[in-house]
Structure 1
């Protein structure tokens, strides 16, 4: 590790790509899987630039497809490191598409990729800390901490020995589901 701390700007990445018919799904819109592939690539580039080493995707959080992307639109992805731990980084990604004929830009997706820095043997290695230079960067760091805490609590609840069907069965009545269990479940 060369630097102990780096600014968010030091590893910020932006890419743009014109959407082709080969990227579309059967509905004529750009396939979500193709967009996720591009997002994984930019997350890797951003995390690797920050850590100065190879990185792998550990998890993807909050992938919401907000607007469809059309064939012929210019898609731009912006990525920055929002949070760093000991060996991991959370890379925030914003996806926008632009109708190049009208100039209209729409926000299509935002997501958070947790990336882990690895050495040549595949072992996690420490990453530089993060220098936060403005309120937006501090806010993103704090939100990443909150998402991490929420995820940890959710995992603890669902993995707990005390998690039981009986504790949640009543909650299912509000959903479009019919429960047809044997008497002695």
Structure 2
């Protein structure tokens, strides 16, 4: 396992020139660009696992006989603020392997001048290996465990894979909502879903929270497979989700978590890409931090046929910076919106649980 460990240091504090490339409008760092680097790092770590730690260049995919793609991102949780700006270390390693998949754990840490380190973000990428000729699943190298610490990481990776499978089986696209979820959804409809006097003060219809952008995909953002780099799509989605959350809350927001990403199909160079965002749910009134859960869906537009095909589905949670005031309730109108509302509710609840465990040091 330790052979796959990789790190890169971004000297923001000691290099004003580098910081200038990453600074946002508020004098901090662009989180989406750091996510883009984490995706690239996870890919490099996966190739390192397949090729060995001594190989420095990838070469041609056709000669290697395989390629690796990001299948999903389970979570990226922000544990501490990016402020003040410090040098940052991105690191990670393969912690679990299946037949053709790899779980890559990544970490973002701030480095102070006195040698102190602070963990800023933790996450997991699920990578899959494909045959370069047939594009079918290809076996990956097994992982050798050599210490109790590595065994703990291996167990974490295995649990993450099992949890992902369990959540897939419980998906609302497969099974109906639980009785508790159905009851809460019905109560929300009774309290806020009807056009009666006094019910409109703190509600927003889900359909009124949409924000989108349409872009051309240029070759400058291609990866080694000559497709649009997944980390670039992640950055675009994060920035649109951030903008939508700011508009919805009428406040600056901070990134709390990337709750899930699914990579369904690659995006070709030259494609017309439509990114659609929508607020799915919000935290309970009075709860701190006041959080919003937003979905960003990436669709490739087929100009000739006039159709769109979904390639990626991103889910983010942001916190309103002015936490003394809550956020409006999201209310669905259709059954499809109701299922999205419940998905957002599940994501917010899971985020609360994870942040609670992290706060307790578990």
Superposition pairs of residues 45-56 of structure 1, within 5 angstroms: 45-56=243-254
Report the Cα offset of residue 44 of structure 1: 0.9
1:175 aligns with: none
Please state if 1:111 is matched with 2:309.
Answer: no
Q: Is the Cα contact below 8 Å between 2:207 and 2:332 reproduced in 1?
A: no
Please state if 1:5 is matched with 2:203.
Answer: yes
Count of residues in Structure 1 that have an aligned counterpart in Structure 2: 157
Q: Is the Cα contact below 8 Å between 2:317 and 2:348 reproduced in 1?
A: no
Report the Cα offset of residue 77 of structure 1: 0.9
Structure-2 change in CA distance of 1:117 and 1:97 (3 Å): same
Report the Cα offset of residue 116 of structure 1: 1.0
**What is the RMSD computed on CA atoms of the aligned residues?**
2.6
2:341 aligns with: 141
Q: Is the Cα contact below 8 Å between 1:67 and 1:106 reproduced in 2?
A: no
Q: Is the Cα contact below 8 Å between 2:212 and 2:275 reproduced in 1?
A: yes
Superposition pairs of residues 49-128 of structure 1, within 5 angstroms: 49-85=247-283, 86=285, 87-100=290-303, 103=306, 105-119=308-322, 125-128=325-328
The SS at the match of 2:312 is strand
Which stretch shifts more, 8-17 or 103-112? 103-112
Report the Cα offset of residue 72 of structure 1: 0.4
The SS at the match of 1:34 is helix
Output one character per residue of 1:91-125: Cα deviation in whole Å (capped at 9) or x when no partner.
Answer: 01111112445655321111210011113xxx574
Q: What is the CA–CA distance in structure 2 between the aligned matches of 1:13 and 1:74, rounded to whole Å?
A: 17
Query: Higher relative contact order at CA 8 Å, sep ≥6: structure 1 or structure 2?
Result: 1
Report the Cα offset of residue 151 of structure 1: 5.5
Match of 1:130 among 330, 335, 338: 330
Q: What is the CA–CA distance in structure 1 between the aligned matches of 2:280 and 2:342, rounded to whole Å?
A: 9
Q: Is the Cα contact below 8 Å between 1:47 and 1:55 reproduced in 2?
A: yes
**TM-score normalised by the chain length of structure 2:** 0.39
Q: Is the Cα contact below 8 Å between 1:11 and 1:47 reproduced in 2?
A: no
2:166 aligns with: none
Q: Structure 1: which 5+ residue stretches go unaligned?
A: 164-185
Superposition pairs of residues 140-179 of structure 1, within 5 angstroms: 140-150=340-350
1:41 aligns with: 239
The SS at the match of 2:266 is coil
Q: What is the CA–CA distance in structure 1 between the aligned matches of 2:319 and 2:210, rounded to whole Å?
A: 17
Which stretch shifts more, 105-114 or 127-136? 127-136
Match of 1:15 among 213, 217, 226: 213
